[in-house]
Structure 1
Amino acid sequence: MKIRLIYIASLAIGLLLNSCGKDFLDKTPQGQLGEGQILNGEGIEAVLLGAYSIMNGNVSGSWGNYAAAPSQWVFGEITSDNAHKGSEESDQPNMNLIEKMNPNPANDNLTTMWQVYYEGVLRSNTTLNVLKQDQEGNKEISATRATEIQAEARMLRGHYYFFMWRVFRNLPWIDENTTLEESKTKPNDEDIYEKIIEDVKFAAENLPLTKINGEAGRMDKSIAKAYLGKLYLYQKKYDLALPLFRDVLAGKDLTAMPFEDNFDVEKEDGPEALLVSKHAINPNGSADNANVGDMLSGIYAAPVSCCGFYQPTIDLVNAYKVDANGLPYLDGEYRNNPYKSDYGLTAAQKASYQLDVTLRVDPRLDYTVGRRGVPFLDYGVMPGDPWIRKSEGYEQPDAGPFVGMKTMIKQSQFASHAVAGENYITGLDVNIMRLADVYLMAAECAVELNDLTAALTYVNAVRNRAAKLPAKTVNGQPVANYQVKPYPSFPSQDYARKAVRMERRLELAMEGHRFFDLVRWGVAKNVLESYSSFEGNYIPFFRGLVFRPQNDYFPIPQTEIDRSGGTLKQNQGYN
């Protein structure tokens, strides 16, 4: 990244001063102001909003922000058994290298991730600096509000660092006390994880229970507690994480919160929303504050007409199959006699293809994946190949027969929630952490603490909510044999562990969690090489994946090592 991105500067970066209707983040950046213009109450609040604005993974413009998307689809999903990069091999070829676990330090996706989130760190540090100057001087900000601002800025900084830590691991720690000269040569030779915890712990102790000014998208105590629990979970400190998760879940009934509302642009900020990246189309129709990170995932054909990336895998789709008791297959049995829609059929066979309505599946499948013969939002029945991008001259799509759904909005919502003429750029928010995620993290802790009764309760809450999903139908008839039942018991800790891990996959698929889960569980090599063998039977590009020890994380961008004069050291295995 450009060195200026990690300098400590007395400038307001990306001040968001114009209000336009969708929460406090729906504002247009107005440039940079000098220190004298921001050392007042209004200016400091504006600088804080500038720090929030990096939540959507975008510094400016619209195209090119995919690797920094808050959904983390590039690093968290196409690296896993859930999703393919999609599109054609020749489009965004550096993403192919990431998907195949063969990244190199020159990969532009790494640079994007590094630059954007260090910009977020800088803006958080700038907020803390100008706040400190105010509190040492005129004190235009009250002591109570000053503590809240500090907590918001540190929560943001902790989040930005954690996103980068999962990808790069070895990072230079730049905070509000780092001088300009120090920042130029700050090494990445110490583990910054405890510093991330310190930031989020301060936020958990000092943020209010309710959002500042009632503005959706703000940090609050529940978000910070859930996030702190997640940080402890990554350390396997289950005894510290579980009480935090329980505090967040107290009094909540997940079964009363419709699953599909989490992905509806007109039902945002509901009771399940926790940490959310807020998105909106600007008043002038521009896309800076929109969901530009997920814009490539649109359906390739009209009415979206771009861009054909981010396709669910055959393996993921089959993982939604259930047994006669309405329970998932926990040991890979779902790969027996796999369902592939019309993939691999000849043109004549595709022309006469009939959907198998007897397929016994969890209903979350058809609210996560678009498959041929099944209604897709309000677009009509998904027609198969016409919606999927493939290389010219090839009969089969490059990445299988399925499309994603969670990043899409309804066609009827285009006029109000999409950029005119660019329906793939929408105002749909991204749930970085939602309540079901916390239920399943709590279940994981309970399993590892051998409280199988509590774990069963948490998992079954998620499954009982899934059972309420309306069946997808054509001509009044269900398009599948939908079943999802609660587990009657967890007979052993090992069984419970498998159940929780499978439930995280089914519930949170295509939401950016899967690869990072596999890594922290220590199973990435076995799972991904097994997946490659299965998926490669049908799509040869994905055959032969080798997961090496360094693949738990990614290389430091070479541009950053060069700009540091060699102070930054490359991650082991990528030299």
Structure 2
Amino acid sequence: MKKYALYISILCAGLLLSSCGKDFLNKNPQGALSEDQVLNSDGVEANLLGAYGILNGNVSGTWGNYAAAPSQWLFGEVAADNAHKGSEETDQPNMNLIELLRPNPANDNLSQMWQVYYEGIARCNRTIVLLKKDQQSGGTVSASRAVEIEAEAKMLRAHYYFYLWRVFKNIPWVDENTSLDAAKVMSNDQDIYPKIIADVQFAVENLPESKISGEKGRMDKMIAKAYLGKLHLYQGNHALALPLFKEAIGSKDITAMPFQNNFNVETEDGPEVLMVSKHAINPNGTGDNANTGDMLSGLYGTSPVGCCGFYQPSIDLVNAYRVDANGLPYLNGQYRVDPYLSDLGLSDTLKAQYVVNRALRVDPRLDYTVGRRGIPYLDYGVMPGDAWIRLASYAGPFVGVKTMINRSQFASHAVPGEPYITALDVNIMRLADVILMAAECEVELGNLSGALAYVNAIRLRAAKLPPKQLNGANMANYVVQPYTSFPNAEYARNAVRMERRLELALEGHRFYDLVRWGIAKQTLESYSTFEGGHLPAFAGVTFNSQNAYFPIPQIEIDRSGGALKQNAGYN
């Protein structure tokens, strides 16, 4: 039961905060506690845990949290070249507009993203306000703990702002010193990025080395350092980012940390975890503290999950895992020549005769990331193809793996009768991510040998993955080898970028990586030409300058009385 302590506390904190972010009502709702009742150590800690509660992108309930998912699957992967929305074209049509890079300010996915994470910011601000009032009134919170609480709250606040910044860029800054009236009409014409950095810098200086009470989901100093490095990286400040990444990496040997353990609900708290959104099924069997943001990615049809058929890996991503005779990925797009399509487009007769190509030469991470017809899928049995897919002719013949749990784990780690709502954590930042960000810095700072060592560590770990087998025979020609050298910076840069795609696929990074690298236009338009040749719904995508960010939700502009200005290109 110890694992559930943090979640139960967060649930209780949510009751304390039932009016958080809605002070304009000027009411004390029935069942809510007044400020005087929470102005003490227990109240401050409960408010902090309520702020942690937004890490899973959910304010209440289970359905409808998809755009705010901590995995950022919709904005980070579906908007890029790694995944399709999935399901059918008429299902969640506003998601289609995100995928096709034609969003409009009325899109409900945008307002959900905005409202959930500003709720998280409001909870962080409320925690800091209560903490300061407690300290001014004599202090039921010890001075040392008070500094830690402020650091935890500011680290969370920075994270919520960063998530919003990546999607919208031009957003208003509201902190503990902002009055309610000022917050309602706060403009978005200032660069808030330095303030995000300042919050994380405070966390670096004041968070403890170890997690409070040993609770896995808590912030600590190493998370803050890695996050600060990431913030510098997004600004192209590689010299500032690299030392922070190196501290986070330390002497850790990632080759000894099994890749697959990051996506297993029973081994997820491993040494590779840095920042994580913790999830659990509530003691009463409900799932609002579970991984509700990823629930649509459940397998469809006759699969053991039965719902909901979204978030399907793209054909392009699957083929990116193909390797050459040396066990290295194709960095020049050659993997698109004579692509592997599984049984897509075959007649019913040929589909019935389909046999998986076991000679296909691929990186073994493919079958731990993507479900393919003919390949064993977790403990569900052999993936049968269309029977587990909503509409393969629309979004392709592949399904995701990383968001699913084993069938044998349903009883303990899924909502009864709804096994697509699970206790599987989401890694917001894991060690492999940090190592590859460090490799990126090394390339840009001219240390190609350092970048080579980092990339090869990831590849050597991948080579240890057990091959997927059936009746004792490998299901593909699995091979992944380290690079012998990086002959020049351009080659090294492409190798690092490809490794990020292969290692971190379907974990919410891809679109943001393409944008910050400045290659989103050529990558996504080329992808659309290839993918659209096999799945017509995805042809003809154009990436315009405004597509680096999404429009400000119109409902928020209206609520601000026009104080918020729309992002350029979306007027």
Q: Shorter-normalised TM-score: what interval?
A: over 0.9
Residues 458-501 of structure 1: per-residue CA shift (max 9 Å, x gap) = 10010000000000001100000000000011000110000000
**Amino acid in the other structure paired with 1:507:** E
| Equivalent residue number for residue 456 of structure 1 | 452
Residue in 2 that maps onto 1:465: 461
Moved more, 20-29 or 523-532: 20-29
* In structure 1, C-alpha distance between the alignment counterparts of 2:56 and 2:63, rounded to whole Å: 13
Which amino acid in structure 2 is aligned with residue 462 of structure 1? I
Instruction: Find out whether 1:543 has 2:539 as its counterpart.
Output: yes
Partner letter of residue 381 of structure 2? Answer: G
Deviations, residues 104-131 of structure 1 (Å, cap 9, x unaligned): 0000000000000000000000000000
Quote how far apart the aligned CAs of 1:388 are: 0.2
Deviation at 1:419, TM superposition (A): 0.3
Q: Distance in 2 between matches of 1:141 and 1:321?
A: 56
Post-superposition Cα deviations, 1:167-207, rounded to whole Å, max 9, x if no partner, equal 00000100000011111110000110010000011101111
Residues of 1 paired with 2:35 and 2:355: CA distance? 66
Q: Which residue identity does 1:22 align to in structure 2?
A: Y
AA partner of residue 567 (structure 2): N
1:386 aligns with 2:387: yes
**Partner amino acid for 1:222?**
M
What are the residue-to-residue correspondences of 1:25-36 with 2, within 5 Å? Answer: 25-27=7-9, 28=11, 29-30=14-15, 31=18, 32-36=32-36
Q: Which residue of 2 aligns with 1:92?
A: 92
So what's the TM-score if we normalise by structure 1? 0.95
SS at match of 1:24: helix
What amino acid sits opposite 2:357 in the alignment?
Answer: D
Q: Which amino acid aligns with 2:480?
A: V
CA distance in 2, matches of 1:496, 1:530: 21
The match for 2:274 is 274
Matched, 1:332 2:314: no
* Residue 57 of structure 1: aligned partner: 57
TM-score using structure 2 length: 0.96
* Structure 1 residue matching 2:382: 3-state secondary structure: coil
> Which residue type is aligned with residue 70 of structure 1?
P
Question: Are residue 265 (structure 1) and residue 268 (structure 2) matched?
Answer: no
Q: Which amino acid aligns with 1:246?
A: K
1:305 and 2:314 matched: no
CA drift of 1:379 comes to 0.3
* 1:389–1:397 Cα contact (<8 Å) kept: no
Residues 106 and 20 of structure 1, relative CA distance in 2, 3 Å threshold:
farther
SS of the aligned residue for 1:528 comes to helix
**Which secondary structure state, in structure 2, belongs to the residue aligned with residue 432 of structure 1?**
strand
- 1:443 is aligned to 2:444: no
Aligned pairs, how many? 552
Aligned to 2:216: 216
What is the distance in 1 between the residues matched to 2:332 and 2:511? Answer: 19
CA distance in 1, matches of 2:226, 2:34: 37
- Structure 2 match to 1:24: 6
| Contact in 2 for aligned 1:26/1:279 (Cα 8 Å) | no
In the alignment, is residue 353 of structure 1 matched against residue 354 of structure 2?
yes
Shift of residue 135 of structure 1?
Answer: 1.1
Query: Is residue 487 from structure 1 mapped to residue 483 from structure 2 by the alignment?
Result: yes
Please state whether the residue corresponding to 2:395 is helix, strand or coil. coil
CA offset digits 1:145-183 (Å, max 9, x no partner) = 111000000000000000000000000100000011111
1:26 is displaced (CA, Å) by 4.2
Cα distance in 2 between the residues matched to 1:317 and 1:250: 33
SS of the counterpart of 1:378?
Answer: coil
Does structure 2 conserve the Cα–Cα contact (< 8 Å) formed by 1:186 and 1:568? Answer: yes
Deviations 1:237-294 (A, max 9, x none): 0000000000011120100100000000011211000100000000111111010000
The residue correspondences of 1:346-425 to structure 2 (distance < 5 A) are 346-390=347-391, 396-425=392-421
2:214 and 2:537 map into 1 onto residues whose CA distance is 49
- How far the C-alpha of 1:25 sits from its partner, in A, is 2.6
Q: Residues 547 and 273 from structure 1, CA distance in 2 versus in 1: closer, same or farther, beyond 3 angstroms?
A: same
Distance in 1 separating the partners of 2:283 and 2:171:
38
- Return the alpha-carbon distance in structure 1 between the equivalents of residues 4 and 332 of structure 2: 45
> 2:185 is aligned with what amino acid?
T
What does residue 185 of structure 1 align with? 185
Residue 317 of structure 2 is matched in structure 1 by: 316
Task: Tell me the distance in 2 between the aligned counterparts of 1:530 and 1:548.
Answer: 14
* Residues 1:508 and 2:504 aligned together: yes
1:287-340 residue CA offsets vs partner (Å, 9 max, x unmatched): 110100000000002311100000000000000000011000001000011000
Task: Report the Cα offset of residue 37 of structure 1.
Answer: 1.1
Contact 1:20 1:283 in 2 (8 A): no
Letter in 2 for 1:173: W
Who is 1:204 aligned against? 204
Counterpart residue identity of residue 176, structure 2: E
Which runs of 5 or more residues in structure 2 are unaligned?
19-31
Supply the distance in 2 between the matched residues of 1:323 and 1:404 (Cα, whole angstroms).
24
What's the secondary structure of 2:376's corresponding residue? coil
1:462 and 1:60 mapped to 2: Cα distance?
A: 38
- 1:169 counterpart residue number: 169
Alpha-carbon separation, structure 2, partners of 1:486 and 1:37: 60
Whole-angstrom CA distance in 1 between matches of 2:96 and 2:350:
30
Query: How is 1:35-114 mapped onto 2 (pairs within 5 angstroms)?
Result: 35-114=35-114
Distance 1:59 1:476, change over 3 A: same
Paired AA for residue 256 in structure 1: A
In structure 2, distance between residues paired with 1:108 and 1:219: 31
Conserved? CA contact 2:210–2:220, under 8 Å: yes
Q: Kindly state the Cα deviation for residue 397 of structure 1 after the two structures are TM-superposed.
A: 3.0
Which residue type is aligned with residue 472 of structure 2? G
The alpha-carbon deviation at position 22 of structure 1 amounts to 2.4
Asked if 1:474 corresponds to 2:470, the answer is yes
SS in 2 for 1:464: helix
| Distance in structure 2 (CA, Å) of the matches to 1:158 and 1:419 | 31
Cα deviation per residue 1:54-106 (whole Å; 9 max; x = unaligned)?
00000000100000000000100000110000000111000000000000000
User: Which stretch of structure 1 is more off in the superposition, 31-40 or 182-191?
Assistant: 31-40
Instruction: State the 1:137 CA deviation.
Output: 1.1
- 1:13-51 Cα shifts (integer Å, max 9, x gaps): xxxxxx874251344343432111111111110000000
What's the secondary structure of 2:420's corresponding residue? strand
Aligned residue in 1 for 2:136: 136
SS in 1 for 2:394: coil
Give the RMSD, CA atoms, in angstroms.
0.9
Cα distance in 2 for residues equivalent to 1:23 and 1:320: 40
**1:560 maps to what in 2?**
556
Identity score, percent: 69
Counterpart of 2:331 in structure 1: which amino acid?
L
Equivalent residue of 1:276, what SS?
A: strand
Aligned residues of 2:393 and 2:535 also touching (Cα < 8 A) = no
Q: How far did 1:138 drift? A: 1.8
